[in-house]
Amino acid sequence: MKPFREQNYYELLDVRPDAEKEVLAKAYEAAKRAFAGDALASHSLFDPRERAALLGRLDDAWRTLSDPALRARYDEDVLGIRPAVGPPAQSPVPEPRPMAFRYADLPIGVTGSVLRARREAVGVPLQEIARTTRISIAYLQFIEEDRERGLPHESYLRGYLAQYARAIGLDPQTVADGYLRHLKALRSAKR
Amino acid sequence: MPWTYATTTRMAGIDGQSRLVQNEIWAVGGGKGGTGKTYLSASLAIGLAKLGKRVIAIDADLGCANLHTALGADPPAATLSDFIKGRVKNLNDVLGDTSLPTLRLISGAHDFLEIANPKYTEKMRLIRQIQDLDVEYIILDLGAGTAFNSLDFFLAADRGILTVIPEPTSIENVYRFIKSAFYRRFKRAVRHPEMKALVSCAMDQKNERGIRTPHDLITGVEAIDAEVGGRLRKTMAQFSPKLVVNQVRSQDDAALGLSMRSSCSKYFGIQVEYLGFVEYDDCVWRAMKRKRPPLMEYPDAPSSRGAGTVLANLLKGEQIAFDLCVRG
């Protein structure tokens, strides 16, 4: 067992080196939740500086491992795993986007970071969503960053959330309800 | 025997002395009061006895003993305080009976305040005699807090089990318990005064030398003596407390054990094992109110099944595996 500064990206996310992207995305979400500033599981353990360092490492891990090319390079450089040479491993066929998510696939709580992780997992850039839905990219960013002050009134927001959810293949109703609930909790926590 | 498992990596007892009897000592601690230590101790003891194992449950909560009540037994005539005060020479003479034939009980001291803090030598004598009890399993129910008593019993056990409930106070105390336990172990492992001072310094979270985690400490020790540092590293690798989440009301609560395991690895660099969780249900207090063990009164309640899983995992030497686990 190594402290987080010595852990490799897979150890940081508590996954095996052969984990599929779906598993990685789940692990990343879980880790972000477990080590967020207000998280119960790591309560009293990290001071703010260390927590920031850990969260930064988690982001690095996710950025690298969610990108097939970066991940292959990382595997080779750090773990010494060479990609198997042969036609099947080399095929650069893009993964089919998993579009139809079941409710069960949704993480326990809908939050901005959870949505972003999901969006990144399916590989849809924010700009693309802004273009197809005609929602201002600032609003989309605010949703993902949980910046409740920048967000529009709930009646507009519900529609935005539904469109955003559809764009990343999630159930619109579930996401809208979940996120608005999350927002309410955020606001009452601040008061 | 369906339950056998290797006992090769038994944690060397207090000073690593060899033992005559091959028993297993399980200690249940966890820092905060009200997190189900006594409930779990009683449930494990009863569960083992139901499997036909010879078990002794010991109330090592020297200040506030109540394990006998949780086991549905009468307060025994002789208690640990009789042994500690020397009125009884042999620990076997304070054994009390329970309603299960293979489960016996050593009740904690509940008379004098001073007994709650026995001298170190008295405590070591107690621990040695516990290790020599001729049964298969010994369950130690520890008191709340991180007093040396609890830490020493915890460290002397073959398996140290920590109970936590999904509340910040409880979680904080578990982490503090873990930290205190292995710093105490470290302190025993080093002899050099300079290193002893370093360990004492590290126990103060706001210390001036910038030691925040056990790893910082080991690095500091290694700078003084590489060999001792290596020994501490080994000590830490062997230190593997087990975790049980009690009063679970949601999936998030159940997953807490996994995140705490991850936190311990990332912060302390130690390997915690998540044994399982016990669901919150009314059966526990309904049974307790009647002074009956929940496991015997409601063997099919969710809580009893949870405790059963914890016991099974302990016997198999395994951790919990369920679909929330991203390790797959």
Answer yes or no: is A96 within a domain: no
Q: Which residues of A touch B327 (CB under 8 A)?
A: 14-16
A112 and A181 co-located in one domain: yes
Contact call for residues B94 and B76 (beta carbons, < 8 A): yes
CATH code for position A122: 1.10.260.40
Interface contacts A/B by beta carbons within 8 Å: 83
A56 and A128 co-located in one domain: no
A186 and A107 co-located in one domain: yes
A142 and A171 co-located in one domain: yes
A74 and A117 co-located in one domain: no
pLDDT at B320: 66
* Final residue in a domain of this structure, among A55, A90, A125: A90
A109 and A184 co-located in one domain: yes
Answer yes or no: is A170 within a domain: yes
Interface predicted TM-score (ipTM) of this complex, two decimals:
0.74
Contact between B171 and A14 using a beta-carbon 8 Å cutoff: no
A79 and A147 co-located in one domain: no
The closest of B154, B162, B236, B155 to B199, measured between CA atoms, is B236
A130 and A155 co-located in one domain: yes
Q: Which residues of A touch B213 (CB under 8 A)?
A: 3
CATH code for position A31: 1.10.287.110
Contact between B259 and A44 using a beta-carbon 8 Å cutoff: no
Count up the domains in chain A and report the number.
Answer: 2
pLDDT at B14: 39
Q: Which residues of B touch A47 (CB under 8 A)?
A: 212
| Domains with residue ranges and CATH for chain B | 24-166+242-316 (3.40.50.300), 181-235 (no CATH)
Q: Is A43 on the interface with B (CB under 8 A)?
A: yes
Answer yes or no: is A166 within a domain: yes
Mark out chain B residues that contact chain A at CB-CB < 8 A: 166, 168, 171-172, 175-176, 212-213, 215, 237, 251-252, 255-256, 258-260, 262-263, 265-271, 326-328
CA distance A13 to B328: 13
pLDDT at A1: 55
Q: Please give the C-alpha separations between residue B2 and each of A113, B44, B133, B318, in angstroms, as whole numbers.
A: 47, 18, 23, 15
CA distance A86 to A67: 21
Contact call for residues B65 and B106 (beta carbons, < 8 A): no
Q: How far is B245 from chain A (nearest CA, A)?
A: 12
Answer yes or no: is A85 within a domain: yes
Number of C-beta neighbours around residue A32 at 10 A: 20
Contact between A30 and B255 using a beta-carbon 8 Å cutoff: yes
pLDDT at A37: 84
Q: Which residues of B touch A40 (CB under 8 A)?
A: 166, 168, 171, 256, 259
Q: How far is A105 from chain B (nearest CA, A)?
A: 11
- What is the residue whose two structure tokens read 């007892």? B13
Contact between A1 and B251 using a beta-carbon 8 Å cutoff: no
Q: Please give the C-alpha separations between residue B128 and each of A91, A183, B88, B121, B238, in angstroms, as whole numbers.
A: 65, 57, 15, 11, 21
CA of B263: which chain A residue's CA is closest? A42
Contact between A16 and B265 using a beta-carbon 8 Å cutoff: no
CA of A33: which chain B residue's CA is closest? B259
Contact between B175 and A1 using a beta-carbon 8 Å cutoff: no
CA distance B17 to A173: 64
* Final residue in a domain of this structure, among A34, A65, A90: A90
pLDDT at B10: 39
A140 and A73 co-located in one domain: no
Q: Is A4 on the interface with B (CB under 8 A)?
A: yes
A131 and A165 co-located in one domain: yes
Q: Which domain holds residue A166?
A: 103-190
A15 and A40 co-located in one domain: yes
Number of C-beta neighbours around residue B251 at 10 A: 12
pLDDT at A103: 47
Answer yes or no: is A2 within a domain: no
Tens of pLDDT along chain B (328 residues) come to 333 333 333 333 433 445 556 799 999 998 788 899 999 999 999 999 999 999 999 998 876 778 988 998 887 788 888 888 888 889 999 999 999 999 999 988 666 555 556 778 888 889 999 999 989 999 999 988 777 778 989 999 999 999 999 999 999 999 999 988 888 888 888 888 888 888 888 777 677 777 777 777 888 888 888 888 888 888 888 888 999 999 999 988 998 999 999 999 888 888 899 999 999 999 998 998 998 999 999 999 999 999 999 999 999 887 765 444 333 3
Contact between A30 and B271 using a beta-carbon 8 Å cutoff: no
For chain A, list residues with pLDDT below 50.
86-104
Contact call for residues A35 and A42 (beta carbons, < 8 A): yes
A110 and A56 co-located in one domain: no
Answer yes or no: is A129 within a domain: yes
pLDDT at B243: 96
Answer yes or no: is A181 within a domain: yes
pLDDT at B116: 59
Contact call for residues A116 and A140 (beta carbons, < 8 A): no
Answer yes or no: is A119 within a domain: yes
